[in-house]
Amino acid sequence: MVEKTKNGLISHGIASQNRKGRFDYSISEEIEAGIVLKGPEVKSLRHGRATLTEAYAGERDGEIWLFNCYIPEYQGGVLSRFEPRAPRKLLLHNRQISKLLGEVARNGHTLVPLDIHFNERGRAKVTLGVGQGRKKADKRHAIAERDWQRDKARLMRDRG
């Protein structure tokens, strides 16, 4: 549930979502990671202005980083500037990092950022999906399945 304060900011809930991530990849596992942000980046996220469509997660120096995530500069008069597409470090335990890197290396899976959200304590978190890319036929099958589920729900609702 997204809760907004009286000035329209997101206190907890989803700040940005990668809707194509679940469509382009079959996600087998999800993991929540913290993200290292600067103050103006958090303010910009609270306005819900981030974009995750082209973002991806990868390994650098034995750590997991979020690359190509667009967080625009905050326009609220803050003097500190930051790079909107800068790589951002993800906070995970060493055991989680080694497990994720092992799956990527062995099974050819990909780390897909699915959303950025704020938890109940107000901390920014990233939901990473471990998935494998879908072929075009699989995507068509997913669309047909989704349409059938929607039609079935509509029929059941009208009937009962």
The 10s digit of each residue's pLDDT in 57-95 is 999 998 999 999 999 888 776 666 788 899 999 999 999
pTM reported for the whole predicted model = 0.78
Q: Is 25 left (phi over 0), alpha (psi -120 to 50) or beta?
A: beta
Most confidently predicted of 4-13, 35-44, 45-54, 146-155? 146-155
Give the H or E element holding residue 130: strand 124-133
The tokens describing 147, both together, are 């349409």
pLDDT of 102-160, one tens digit each? 988 888 889 999 999 999 988 999 999 998 888 888 889 888 999 999 999 999 998 87
Architecture of the domain made up of 3-133 = Beta Barrel (2.40)
The DSSP bridge pattern shows strands 10-17 and 3-4 to be antiparallel
Q: How far is CA 117 from CA 10, 24, 42, 109, 132, in A?
A: 9, 21, 11, 23, 23
